Structure 1
Amino acid sequence: MRIFRILNNNAIVVIDGPREKIVLGKGIAFQKKNNDIVPKHKIEKVFVLHEQSSEKFQQLLKTLPEAHIELAEQIISYAEGHLEAPLNDHIHIALTDHLSFALERIEQGFSIQNKLTNEIKFLYKKEFEVGLWAKKEIKRKLQVDIPLDEVAHIALHVHTAKMDSPSMNESLQTATILRDFVEQVQQVAGLTIEETSINYQRLITHLRFALNRIQKGNEIEPIDEEMLALIQKKYEKAYLYSSEVIKHLNQEYELNFPPAEVAYIALHIQRLIRSES
């Protein structure tokens, strides 16, 4: 295997059969030139991207700081080990580009904001752990302290790179719906929901599974009529609050929560009401 193109000190392009491949390894191109034999003991990663993606990644490797590229690759390697699953090759572009831009903004004094940090932290716990690991590594290697909002951005990139995971837009929409749901419950019911409380976690978990059922077209088991009547009578306020919140979600996001969900969510709201009394 010979070097076809040197991208930076740690990245080269080789021709293997009919395909170009990108080869990464610390110092793999040090004191090398095109057509030199690739030092096999320095190869850490070899992958093939689609033509347009390959060109984009090669541009990133040539233009971004090598320290940023190296950190992104270490985060990806750690994520695959921590999640015990391979990630889509496109993350080498998406995360590297995002991370470098974020680090530049932080170093220039700009703030990083993410309104969905709490939802991402709850929805994608293991991915958020990857982001926390990245936070420590970035601090250790670059002396840059990224905020938790950036940790959440990294977690979302990792999540959407998992095989068969929803797209970035779908993952963001789920987190947005959950955030809107919590805000609506607080506004309609006049509650303050502690995001570390068990009741918050139960509420979010229930809605997450309900959304998943709706998105997949799975029907929820109908609620017993006697049980429904009991909830409507005993927890009248909670049921009214739930009805209003579900109506908002159905209209705002073109969802179709079944009537039974109003009752189930009313039970969660009742727990929240009880915890504040």
Structure 2
Amino acid sequence: MIIDQVFNNNVVLTSVNGKEAVLWGTGIGYKKKKGDLIDDSKIQKKFVLEDEKQSKELVSVFEMISQEEIDLVLEIVDDAVEEMNLKISPSIYASLADHIHYVIERTKQNVTLKCPLDREIRYIYPQEYEVCLKYVEWMKNRFDIQMSDCEASSIVLHFLNAERDEQIFERTVLETKLIKDMVDIVRMDYGIEFEEKDFFFRRFILHLQYFAKRVVKEEVLEDEDQTLVEIVKTNYAKAFSCAVKIGKYLEQSQHYKASPNELMYLAIHIQKITQIQL
């Protein structure tokens, strides 16, 4: 193989079976130029770019960012694939590199942005969030900067995007937003904050995950026991009233009409998490 382009001392571009590929290895591009032979013994990582669009995006980003940033991105992706058992698209390299470069630059300029879904990502994808917190620490230490832990949420979304096709990812983002809004309705209705590690709150979030999927797919849970619905409505009046508010929100925003049975299950969960808090 010969070098088509040198990104830095450790990363070069080449061709494999007619497709462009990025090679990563310590010193693989040191004092090299286009047309030089590649020392195969220095190849530590190789990923083939499946189409011209991927290739152009990656080349454009890698030309813009520093050697330290490129190396960090490659290390993060390798670690994430192992830690989170991901099967991801090569598109992650360009999107994550661009994001990390932007985060580092704006952090150096003291520009802080909040991830609007940070709280929800933390309790919907807790394992992924913990892994990505590690990458935030890597960025802090390597570039001697301070940044908010919420940056981990954005990295989680990048990996979810790379693992799923665009349609599925858009659905995931919508489901996450719906969960956020439903939790916010309960939070505001009761005027309380929740302990995210609380067992009943975790159960509530799990219930909302399945519920949000049904909303997005327009699947309504059929009524089973009207008597039980009436019992819950009577015994858990405030919780049921809160569930009705969630139902109205879903009807207005998603044109989804929740069944009495769905409202009943919501009310039961709301009763449990608010009893613990109050």
**Equivalence for 2:110:** 109
Structure 1 residues 8 and 263, CA gap change in structure 2 (3 angstroms): same
Amino acid at match of 2:131: V
| Structure 1, unpaired ranges of 5+ | none
Corresponding residue of 1:94: 95
Task: For residues 186-226 of structure 1, give each alpha carbon's deviation from its aligned partner in whole angstroms, at most 9, with x where no partner exists.
Answer: 22344443334333222221111111233345553533222
Change (3 A) 1:244 1:219: closer
Relative to structure 2, which stretch is displaced further, 56-65 or 231-240? 231-240
8 Å contact from structure 2 (residues 120, 176) kept in 1: yes
The Cα shift of 1:91 comes to 0.5
Greater CA drift, 74-83 or 27-36? 27-36
What one-letter code is carried by the residue in structure 1 that aligns with 2:229? L
Residue matched to 1:179: 180
Contact persistence 1:112–1:149 (CA under 8 A):
no
1:166, 1:72 → 2: CA distance?
Answer: 25
Partners of 1:151 and 1:250 in 2: how far apart? 32
How much has 1:167 moved relative to structure 2? Answer: 4.8
Answer yes or no: is 1:11 the counterpart of 2:6.
Answer: no
How many residues matched?
Answer: 277
1:155 is aligned to 156
C-alpha distance in 2 between matches for 1:218 and 1:135: 38
Q: Measure how far apart 1:154 and its partner are.
A: 0.9
RMSD: 2.2
Provide the rounded CA distance (Å) in 1 between the counterparts of 2:70 and 2:255. 40
Paired position in structure 2 for 1:262: 263
Residues in 1 aligned to 2:134 and 2:273: alpha-carbon distance in whole angstroms = 33
One-letter code of the match for 1:31? K
State the Cα distance separating 1:165 from its structure 2 match: 8.2
Partner amino acid, structure 1, of 2:60 = Q
What is the match of residue 36 of structure 1?
36
Aligned-residue sequence identity (percent) comes to 25
1:238 aligns with 2:239: yes
Q: For the Cα contact (< 8 Å) 1:160–1:166, is it kept in 2?
A: no
1:110-143, Cα deviation, whole Å (9 max, x unpaired): 1131132111111112221221121222233222
Q: Which residue of 2 aligns with 1:20?
A: 20
Offset, 1:248: 1.0
Question: Partners of 2:7 and 2:275 in 1: how far apart?
Answer: 61
Assess, with a 3 A threshold, how the Cα gap between structure 1 residues 174 and 163 changes in structure 2: closer, same or farther.
closer
Alpha-carbon shift at residue 55 of structure 1 (Å): 0.8
Conserved 8 A contact 1:2-1:36: yes
Q: CA deviation at 1:67?
A: 0.9
Q: How far off is 1:150 after superposition?
A: 0.6
Instruction: Name the amino acid aligned to 2:7.
Output: L
2:228 corresponds in structure 1 to: 227
Q: 1:210 corresponds to which residue? A: 211
Taking structure 2 as the reference length, what is the TM-score of the superposition? 0.90
2:124 corresponding residue in structure 1: 123
Cα separation, partners in 2 of 1:189 and 1:141, compared to 1, 3 Å: closer
1:163 to partner: Cα distance: 4.4
Q: Distance in 1 between matches of 2:62 and 2:38?
A: 18
CA contact (8 A) 1:8 1:61 kept: no
- Given that 2:218 and 2:256 are in contact with CA atoms closer than 8 Å, whether structure 1 keeps it comes out as no
What is residue 52 of structure 2 aligned with on the other side?
A: 51
Q: CA deviation at 1:257?
A: 2.9
* Separation in 1, partners of 2:130, 2:276: 30
SS where residue 148 of structure 1 aligns?
coil
Instruction: Determine the C-alpha separation between the residues in 1 that align with 2:199 and 2:8.
Output: 49
Q: Which amino acid aligns with 2:100?
A: L
Q: Choose 33-42 or 101-110, whichever is displaced more.
A: 33-42
Match of 2:71 in 1: 70
- The TM-score with structure 1 as length reference comes to 0.90
How much does 1:268 deviate? Answer: 1.3
Provide the C-alpha distance between the structure 2 equivalents of 1:272 and 1:163, rounded to a whole number of angstroms. 32
Q: Secondary structure at the match of 1:22?
A: strand
Give 1:253 shift: 3.0
* Counterpart-to-counterpart distance in 1, 2:77 and 2:119: 22
Q: Return 5+ residue gaps in structure 2 as ranges.
A: none
> In 2, Cα distance between the equivalents of 1:274 and 1:186?
13
